């Protein structure tokens, strides 16, 4: 957690652009929220032409659906979306007006990774220590 799902038209982005977008989203999320980069997942989905419409017409837009842990301020969320939008434009060449970003807060108590509930915002480093201790014991 967080999960950034990037929906694009098929063949809009090549593999290198996807890697750069994922790297930028990860960097931006970690910088703005203080969460470890290892928490960030970026997933791409491609839509076939004819499967995406806006206002009843074929669309050429892209969409990023972000699910983040609750506890971030409105200012942090605005900074996240703005920085990601600008980075998207730089990496993909797509105009910002053709990108929509939605952000949904999810309470940490409703997210589990590796059998452990995720921590509240700001408690990530303590959680990582517990997670690493729990998973290293399971491997031995």
CATH label of the domain that carries residue 109: 3.30.429.10
Total of domains in the chain: 1
CA dist 132 and 99 (Å) reads 37
Radius of gyration of the chain (CA): 17
Q: What are phi and psi of 55, to 5 degrees?
A: 60, 30
pLDDT score recorded for residue 64: 98
Which residues have C-beta within 8 Å of that of residue 124, sequence separation ≥ 6?
Answer: 34, 35, 36, 39
Compute the mean pLDDT over every residue in the chain, rounded to the nearest whole number.
Answer: 93
Task: Judge whether residue 11 has pLDDT over 70.
Answer: yes
Mean pLDDT computed over 31-38: 94
CA dist 61 and 128 (Å) reads 37
pLDDT score recorded for residue 134: 83
pLDDT score recorded for residue 132: 85
pLDDT score recorded for residue 122: 85
Provide the domain limits for residue 43.
3-139
Q: Do 93 and 26 form a contact (C-beta atoms < 8 A)?
A: no
Task: Judge whether residue 89 has pLDDT over 70.
Answer: yes
Angle in degrees, 0-180, between the axes of helices 74-92 and 15-33, rounded to the nearest 10: 160
Percentage of the chain exceeding pLDDT 70:
97
């Amino acid at each position: 957690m967080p999960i950034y799902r990037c929906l694009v038209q098929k063949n809009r982005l090549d593999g290198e652009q996807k890697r750069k977008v994922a790297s930028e989203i990860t960097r931006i999320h970690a910088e703005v929220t203080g969460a470890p980069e290892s928490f960030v997942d970026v997933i791409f989905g491609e839509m076939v032409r004819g499967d995406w419409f806006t206002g009843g017409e074929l669309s050429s837009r892209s969409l990023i659906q972000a699910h983040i842990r609750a506890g971030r301020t409105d200012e942090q969320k605005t900074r996240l979306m703005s920085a990601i939008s600008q980075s998207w434009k730089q990496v993909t060449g797509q105009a910002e007006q053709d990108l929509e970003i939605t952000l949904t807060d999810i309470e940490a108590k409703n997210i589990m990774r590796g059998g452990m509930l995720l921590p509240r915002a700001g408690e990530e480093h303590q959680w990582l220590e517990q997670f690493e201790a729990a998973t290293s014991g399971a491997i031995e």
